[in-house]
Structure 1
Amino acid sequence: MTTALRRLRNYIDGEFRDAADGRTTEVVNPATGEPYATAPLSGSEDVDAAMAAAEAAFPAWRDLIPAERQKVLLKIADRFEERAEELIAAESENCGKPIALVRSEEIPPMVDQIRFFAGAARMLEGRSAGEYMDGFTSIIRREPVGVCAQVAPWNYPMMMAVWKFAPALAAGNTVVIKPSDTTPASTVLIADIIGSVLDELGHPRGVFNVVCGDRETGRLMVEHRVPAMASITGSVRAGMQVAESASKDLKRVHLELGGKAPVVVFEDTDIAKAVEDIATAGYFNAGQDCTAATRVLVQESIHDEFVAALAKAASETKTGAVDDEGVLYGPLNNANQLKQVKGFIERLPAHAKIEAGGEQVGEKGYFFAPTVVSGLKQDDEIVQQEVFGPVITVQSFTDEKQAVEWANGVEYALASSVWTKDHARAMRMSKVLDFGCVWINTHIPLVAEMPHGGFKKSGYGKDLSAYGFDDYTRIKHVMTSLDG
């Protein structure tokens, strides 16, 4: 006997709809490897409909005073709390994530982030009006950019949707968002939540729309004539494709792409504390995090002791089913990602040594053991390329100069961390590390008030913070004659 698959649908202009041509794709639970739902495989007709709805809703939403948009976002945050268990269940099934961790580590920050941007809606800062030419007064208007085409990833589908829609809506834009084809369930539920709030408060139904689909669907969204801005969180390859597509009609582009965060550990570090924190920051969410602490550089005098302690921590780190106790992370998101992680391990050079893990775990699902690899060189593939799995690499450096050279010696530049008791050294390192974030004696904490975004091939634009809000606005100069 087969169990009927749940049917997920697009959300367009306040209505849940199947794809216009009826095409669907199966959605697999990565903890079991079995399909649990179908989702629309949307085409041009669906994208056209969503964009038309967002375009029609934009003038009324744009013209609301900020306090009214704030009311909507605050009610959305309240509704997230009220329906938290539904969101947790959807995200756990989406990603195979441990239920307890979704409840404690994702719901509270998401609610906080929505409320932050609700406040940001009323803080439209600009330079003061003034006379910069005799007889004329200049003022600055900060306006929404228009319809935003947004593409969210599969590693944090629910939270990344929040990072996208909250600042966009707060600034007065309307949204068409596409979740990953492997993780649409929580975004469809978010559409139900936001749609109900918009209806209750009497706002246009097309303010927020969800279109499910694959890469082709995303391409259709980015190349569509309506959006003024395209925002994507994803791979470097996907980001480059979006930037190229958007360039054809000069859309604004917001890219949060890959990472290869260096974790620079100096000899004066408290090894036990550093290992505990780094292991958590490296293995959390199965290492499927652009900021994950997966590239460790350790000063040679403490290298062996550090590696031994990290290997022990890896052996004590637990992965497993969504309701298992003491689990730090669940499976990799999909079969292709499991294959990619395995490939990095299979292609390790002869001089590398697997200190812990290195293999798939269990007979079903896409679980991979917490892994430590030592003996690596700077130009090794696993050092240079993003693994996006529960794999921590370790290199040994001699001095601060070499640590900086190796830390910066990758194409990514999203996040980094420095571990030392020497304040002056920490300040020197924070200055020269070429990354959008530098943590000192910690790794991975994020707050709504501070920006998240990188340099180089990690993309451009900021999520979170007032800077993230600014990315969804445009600046207009208005000059008036004082002659009357």
Structure 2
Amino acid sequence: MRSFCLLRTRYLLHQVFPGQSITTMQRKYSLNVCAQLLRTQGYIDGHWISAASTFPVVDPATGEEIAKVADCGPAEAKQAVDSAHKAFYTWKQYTAKERSVLLRKWFDLLTLHKEDLAKLITFECGKTMKESLAEIAYSSSFLEWFSEQARRVYGDIVQPNTRDRRILLLKQPVGVASVITPWNFPSAMITRKVGAALAAGCTVVVKPAEDTPLSALALAELAGQAGIPAGVFNVVPCSREKTPSVGEVLCTDPLVAMVSFTGSTATGKILLKQAADTVKKTSMELGGHAPFIVFDSADVDKAVAGAMASKFRNSGQTCVCSNRFLVQNGIHDHFVKKLGQAMDTELRLGHGSDPNTTQGPLINVRAAQKVENQITDAVSRGATVLRGGKRLDGSFVQPTLLVDVTTDMLCTQQETFGPLLPVIRFNTEEEALAIANASQMGLAGYFYSQDISQIWRVTEALEVGMVGVNEGIISTSEASFGGVKQSGLGREGSKYGIDEYLDVKYMCFGGLTH
């Protein structure tokens, strides 16, 4: 019989949950999760460590505190780096097969505990249980993928320029990797990086987002159970206030060889500057501003389904969410009508643990205020609200559909990270591409067309790192993930993801006789 930890939510959001008593809310939206997975201390050198203070983790749907977590600072960050550096010299000596076996055990444990891990995501991040379970499957897939890729790190034997030498190119792990992750995928953004790092023979220090440390700490618990050696995987949770000082240690310490970050472009630029002084290797998955283009030749029903999936997953809080919807004049009205009907039918606000909910809260009030400001700005500049348009109590925002949108509005110039869908009308393919490529960001792009020639033209012309053609959901462990322009550096996932954690060493073997 497993022991359980009960975390209760008490704060009633009347506009979202009308007519429900506090007792009903407590019963309906309380988190029961395996106590073994609910960890609140830092994880360094295989041990759970406390800090001088703690910080609260809250349920964004209710505002209720669900846990207090150790507020690690620069001292703990340095301790974690030292531990990872010491462990590296042992871990890199493990054979690829040995590392593969341990990653596979970690994968098996995530699969075994998927329900509890999903509950943690729902309560600290706000996702629906359906989406949280999907994230755990996605998260697990990277451990499975890189457990296999660990055994496929190949060097090269190069034809020499003279007869008395041989040329070999070896691939070796870079060393300690600092991994700094966001709140919107609190499990998958860790495994996508750490799976590759550990497969390559690197050790890691993870700093999870202050909003969602519980998922990272649960991964640490399972890593220990899987047999990942002490010091190979470390987690340093901290509050928003201590994030800059902890981040500075992770980006400047000479023992750190590589920094991998997922988050905003503004923060990425700061980390790049910090890493530059010691010339660290970096992998940056930064902001997105994805265009979603619907051409006259598109299958409208499929385009509407793709738009719904791309925009409203995690309430619009993914870096590859479509942000600007460009619809060609010939089908504009038909598309907008069907899209509005789909929003009416398919979207329901609520707590993520309610199986009827499709749209949870945004991560915090600041995020909701940003969406509200973009809606207000768009309306003031002539946009029309066809659906939603209101911010509710706490961090809930109604799924919103705007038309008569122009390129001078904030919602078409800035990444939204919320359930706002602005539609821009266009006439020609050239016009759509000009609008799509006007952004400094270039992470993902989507378009719908049944014209084969147009599909190739637009795919090649879009200035992004990933393209969804007649598809709104594109992420998978087998494919490369990353952007161009100011959306980042490097690639994650796929066979290329492990290369970020490897150096190529040239070996010239001379003095040979024949």
For Structure 1 versus Structure 2, the TM-score category normalised by the shorter chain is over 0.9
- Assess if the C-alpha contact under 8 Å between 1:114 and 1:166 holds in 2: yes
Match of 2:383 among 324, 345, 352: 352
Match for residue 153 of structure 1?
182
Q: Distance in 2 between matches of 1:133 and 1:282?
A: 58
1:149-184 alpha-carbon deviations (Å, 9 max, x no partner)? 010101111111111110000000000001000110
Query: In terms of mean alpha carbon deviation, does 254-263 or 121-130 score higher?
Result: 121-130
Separation of aligned partners in 1, 2:230 and 2:287: 34
Give the stretch that moved more between structures: 302-311 or 158-167.
302-311
Q: Which runs of 4+ in 1 moved over 4 A?
A: 2-7
- Structure 2 partner of 1:323: 353
Q: CA deviation at 1:108?
A: 2.0
Cα deviation for residue 143 of structure 1 reads 0.6
**Do the aligned residues in 1 keep the contact of 2:39 with 2:214 (CA within 8 Å)?**
no
Native 8 Å contact 1:7 1:37 kept in 2: no
| Aligned-partner SS, 2:43 | strand
C-alpha contact (below 8 Å) 2:136/2:187 kept by paired residues:
no
- In structure 2, the residue matched to 1:429 is 458
Task: Tell whether 2:224 aligns with 1:195.
Answer: yes
- The Cα of 1:445 is off from its aligned counterpart by 2.3
> Is 1:128 equivalent to 2:160 in the alignment?
no
1:137/1:482 contact within 8 Å kept: no
Aligned to 2:495, what secondary structure does the other structure show?
Answer: helix
Partner Cα distance (1:331, 1:223) in 2 = 35
Tell me whether 1:441 sits opposite 2:470 in the alignment.
yes
Residues matched between the structures, number:
474
Task: Give the Cα–Cα distance (whole angstroms) in 1 for the partners of residues 161 and 389 of structure 2.
Answer: 65
TM-score normalised over the length of structure 2: 0.89
Question: C-alpha displacement at 1:110, in angstroms?
Answer: 2.1
C-alpha distance after superposition, 1:437-459 (max 9, x if no partner): 11111122222111010011111
Aligned partner of residue 312 in structure 2, secondary structure: helix
SS of the aligned residue for 1:392 comes to: strand
Structure 2 stretches of 5 or more lacking a match? 1-6, 10-30, 32-37
Question: Is the CA contact 1:384–1:411 (under 8 Å) kept in the aligned structure 2?
Answer: no
Structure 1 unmatched ranges of 5 or more? none
RMSD: 1.8
**Which residue does 2:307 correspond to in 1?**
278
For residues 235 and 73 of structure 2, what CA distance do their matches in structure 1 show?
Answer: 13
- Determine if contact 2:381/2:409 at 8 Å carries over to the other structure: no
Is residue 323–residue 412 contact of structure 2 (8 Å, CA) maintained in 1? no
**What fraction of aligned residue pairs are identical, expressed as a percent?**
33
1:345 shift after superposition: 1.4
- Is the CA contact (8 Å cut-off) linking 1:147 and 1:229 kept in structure 2? yes
1:110 and 1:350 map into 2 onto residues whose CA distance is: 41
Deviation at 1:292, TM superposition (A): 0.7
Query: Secondary structure in 2 aligned to 1:289?
Result: coil
Answer yes or no: is 1:55 the counterpart of 2:61: no
Indicate the SS of the match to 1:131: coil
Larger displacement relative to structure 2 (316-325 or 271-280): 316-325
The 5 A counterparts of 1:34-433 are: 34-103=64-133, 105-198=134-227, 204-213=229-238, 214=240, 215-216=243-244, 217-316=246-345, 317-348=347-378, 349-361=380-392, 363=393, 365-433=394-462
Within 1, Cα distance between the matches of 2:305 and 2:500?
A: 36
Structure 1 residues 42 and 17: CA distance shift in structure 2, 3 A: same
* TM-fit CA distance, 1:223: 1.8
CA shift, 1:7, in A, is 6.9
Render the CA deviation track for 1:56-114: whole Å, top value 9, x for unaligned: 100111111100000010000011111212211211111121113322x1222222221
Letter of the structure 1 residue corresponding to residue 44 of structure 2: I
**Bigger Cα displacement from structure 2, 319-328 vs 371-380:** 319-328
Q: Distance in 2 between matches of 1:306 and 1:87?
A: 38
Task: Tell me how far apart the structure 1 counterparts of residues 154 and 407 of structure 2 sit (CA, whole Å).
Answer: 44
- Is the contact between residue 309 and residue 473 of structure 2 (CA under 8 Å) also seen in structure 1? no
Q: Is the 8 A contact 1:412 1:457 kept in 2?
A: yes
Q: 1:3: how far off?
A: 7.5
CA separation in 2, counterparts of 1:132 and 1:285?
56
C-alpha distance in 2, partners of 1:23/1:344?
37
**Displacement after TM superposition at 1:130 (Å):** 2.9
TM-score (norm 1): 0.95
1:469 Cα deviation after fit? 1.0
Distance 1:276 1:197 in 2: 40
**CA 159–48 in structure 1, closer or farther in 2 if over 3 Å, else same:** same
Deviation at 1:418, TM superposition (A): 1.6
